[in-house]
Amino acid sequence: MDDHVNENKPTAPHQSALAIDCASEADRIGAFIVATLRKLNRRGCVLGVSGGVDSAVCAHLAARAVGSDRVLALLMPERDSTKEAGARARRLCDSLGIPHVEEDITDPLEAIGCYRRRDEAIRKQFPDYGAGWRQKIAIVAGKTWMPQFNLIVQSPDGQIFERRLPVDAYLQIVAATNFKQRLRKSMEYYHAERLNYGVLGTPNKLEYDLGFFVRGGDGLADFKPIAHLYKTQVYALAEHLGVPDEIRREPPSTDTYSLTQSQEEFYFALSWSDADRVLHGMSEKLSAAEIAIAVGRDRSTVARAIQEFQGKRRAASRALAQAYVLGGGAS
């Protein structure tokens, strides 16, 4: 991307560039949900509700579109989930009158080796890691565009230890934890098939465009009604729809590792608001220098973010594609 500021282009987007007419957008998404379910020949929809803002907005939109009695919310906690997230999800469902089912997936994850395989990789870095310890992975901004990751663990007495992860350990930890998203999606499709419902996916545009999902896991759905909305726009829609303050105030989290982990430190390496503006600027074909003005960061940092986002976009495109078959292309 050229760093020269083109005087004929609009300046890089301020947050106001992402403003939407929330009432019109809610109606448009509602019509999309109804039309899609009709096209799929499904009676209603199933979605996972995590206690976060994306699934809360989708639950509101689905209930408005087809009625709360034709929406099933699934709460799928496991060993590393926070009790607070589950409580928020239950209160949301109760407020909307949406029936919900709680499926604790700890035992299936245990059986498939999710925790054992993850902990095996962690112990190669921290041999004392065991019962009572907690962990997370954090992205480290290096001097090149290639991301690096640190493993952070906390001992039972509260001491924090951090170490750079070699690639093989990082891949094993992520592969093991991805069982969580894949098992949750299997549960969603079980309930969808028994009810003749469609599976509603809840990614926003940042997650969808940049590949913040698991192939065969949370990346899988029959339809994704907010995948065109930046996170900024999701929050605006949440306020319009009356999503509870306790959900709107909660920082976005992966809720995948036992230590609190933001999406910023695990994947985007930017706050969601800055990531929105970088991705929007890229879509508008603005330069790194133009985007840097709006984001309020130096040009080199934004240039690295753009390069990384371009790579994530390519990876996301591959992850969303169907399987390749003999004869060329994807099926």
Known binding-site residues for ATP equal: 48-55, 202, 231, 253
Joined tokens for residue 89: 């999800």
Measured over the CA atoms of residue 77, residue 194, residue 56 and residue 295, the dihedral's sign is: positive
Binding site feature residues for Mg(2+): 54, 207
Helices (H), the chain: 22-40, 53-66, 83-96, 106-112, 114-125, 167-195, 205-210, 231-241, 245-248, 263, 272-283, 288-295, 299-320
Radius of gyration of the CA atoms of the chain, in A: 20
Binding site feature residues for deamido-NAD(+): 182, 222
Whether residue 37 contacts residue 64, with contact meaning beta carbons closer than 8 Å, is answered with no
Name residue, tokens 């500021």.
5
First to last CA, the chain: 32
Binding site feature residues: 48-55, 182, 202, 207, 222, 231, 253
Helix (H, G, I), strand (E, B) or coil at 158: coil
